[in-house]
Amino acid sequence: MMKRMRTADEQPVALAWNIFPERIVGTKLDGGIEGAIFQHLSKTCNVHIVFAETSIYALDREDPYDKSALDILGEKTLLMKQLHFDEKAVPTFFSLDYIRTDMIHFTLKRERKG
């Protein structure tokens, strides 16, 4: 498990908990990483992330991860739970991504086929 913080103008804007299975990363993340997770996984583990399934949640003050995110990022925070997949559609790692909605905005497109 790895905790990462993203900042803008020295203010925290996102907090992520990334959970990697040992069978995929072994000890290759023990020293942490610099830069983008996807690039690091590709370079050191030969894992190429191509998509994620994402669900968006409101935060629960009773959950310790949510409470920590609220303490760091503030009230205008949402949670994206993401399961990341490689090019063979094999689940590779799971993320809890907390995002400040007053600093980062998302646009979702919902489309009906057929």
Q: Domain-by-domain residue ranges, the chain?
A: 2-100
Domain 2-100 indexed as CATH 3.40.50.300 = no
Which DSSP string do the residues of 103-114 spell out, in sequence order? T-----------
Q: Check if the beta carbon of residue 20 is closer than 8 Å to that of residue 10.
A: no
- Per-residue model confidence (pLDDT) at position 74: 95
Maximum distance among all alpha carbons in the chain?
Answer: 49
* Residue 22 vs residue 54, higher pLDDT: 54
Residues in the chain: 114
* Residue 104 vs residue 100, higher pLDDT: 100
pLDDT tens for each residue of 47-89 = 899 999 999 999 999 999 999 999 999 999 999 999 999 999 9
* Residue 53 vs residue 35, higher pLDDT: 53
The Cα–Cα gap between 86 and 64 comes to 29
- Per-residue model confidence (pLDDT) at position 33: 76
Q: What three-state secondary structure class fits 14?
A: strand
Given a cut of 90, is residue 30 above it in pLDDT? no
21 confidence band (pLDDT: 50, 70, 90) = confident
Strand order in the sheet with 49-57: 2-8, 11-19, 91-100, 77-86, 49-57
- Per-residue model confidence (pLDDT) at position 85: 95
